[in-house]
Amino acid sequence: MAVRKLKPTTPGQRHKVIGTFEEITARVPEKSLVVGKKASGGRNNTGKMTVRYVGGGHKRKYRIIDFKRTKDGIPATVKSIEYDPNRSARIALLYYADGAKAYMLAPQGLEVGQTVMSGAEAAPEVGNSLPLANIPVGTVIHNLELRPGQGAKMVRSAGVFAQLVSREGTYAVVKMPSGEMRKILTTCRATIGTVGNSDHALEKSGKAGRSRWLGRRPHNRGVVMNPVDHPMGGGEGRASGGHPRSRTGLYAKGLKTRAPKKHSSKYIIERRKK
């Protein structure tokens, strides 16, 4: 994966840095693994806008991703690497030996024609899904489960990875992309390798229209509002707005929002770096 910087032939091209899409091998998704996706426009079930600055954007189809990888012992061949509009990572289409098809997140280094496996007997190679108990200590992983059988919930964005640091009884200590060290049951599964499309972080849209294609509407700051609309609004001239806070008055910088008695806190060995 690489990026290309466009020549400034127009104002929209001047700062645009986009991916080359060179690793993508199929233009049309697998029909049996695609469902319709309805946009909410930031509105709830009664039609009231509950999230601002959301709406519009290109129509999307949702690709059903297999985050559980439960077809143990059955080899699967990578048929294609595809674009997914619903996530920053690329996805890989798998053809299993028994005829089943599935999508998985495409890790870095996975190529068309390669074979991947899942289960405790699988080798710790890129794209294979194993329980943490069977992964060698020090291995770089992604697509990590929080509870056994739940399906991967963590480490799924483009270019990210976690690392298996050690094992202590029924728990494994994993270093998360944020720097947090936490204990996770060794029966939870993870996929070997780093999530692909690592250059996604280098991309720049170059123009406001590209945000609109993604369904992001113009965002206006609290400082430019009136006092009736925002705690940071009002004042003569260009006032700074005082302490940064949300529209409902919650401080935006430094206020601890994590529940102090949260159940999962006991599994966190070291908090993320601030």
CATH of the domain at 232: 4.10.950.10
Task: Please give the Cα distance from 88 to 126 (Å, whole number).
Answer: 19
Same domain, residue pair 74 and 181: yes
* Mean pLDDT taken over the chain: 95
Confidence at residue 131, expressed as pLDDT on a 0 to 100 scale: 97
| CATH number of 44's domain | 2.40.50.140
- Using the Cα atoms of residue 125, residue 130, residue 134 and residue 138 in order, give the sign of their dihedral: positive
Residue 274 has pLDDT above 80, yes or no: no
Task: Please give the Cα distance from 147 to 94 (Å, whole number).
Answer: 24
- Residue-wise pLDDT tens digits, 9-33: 999 999 999 999 999 999 999 999 9
Same domain, residue pair 184 and 261: no
Write the Ramachandran bin of 53: left for phi over 0, alpha for psi from -120 to 50, otherwise beta. Answer: left
pLDDT band at 2 (very low <50, low <70, confident <90, very high): confident
The closest of 162, 158, 165 to 137, measured between CA atoms, is 165
Confidence at residue 104, expressed as pLDDT on a 0 to 100 scale: 98
Residues in the chain, total = 274
Q: Domain of 44?
A: 3-201
Confidence at residue 257, expressed as pLDDT on a 0 to 100 scale: 87
Residue 232 and residue 245 in contact, taking contact as beta carbons nearer than 8 Å: yes
Same domain, residue pair 12 and 107: yes
Burial 79-89 (b: 16+ CB within 10 A, else e): bbbbbbeebbb
Same domain, residue pair 159 and 232: no
Task: Please give the Cα distance from 131 to 152 (Å, whole number).
Answer: 12
* pLDDT (mean) for 34-52: 96
Task: Please give the Cα distance from 141 to 161 (Å, whole number).
Answer: 6
Same domain, residue pair 76 and 19: yes
Same domain, residue pair 125 and 77: yes
**Contacting residues for 210 by C-beta, under 8 A, at least 6 apart:** none
**Contacting residues for 49 by C-beta, under 8 A, at least 6 apart:** 41, 42, 43
Q: How many domains does the chain contain in total?
A: 2
- The structure's pTM equals 0.91
Same domain, residue pair 9 and 133: yes
Count of C-beta atoms within a 10 Å radius of residue 78? 20
Confidence at residue 1, expressed as pLDDT on a 0 to 100 scale: 60
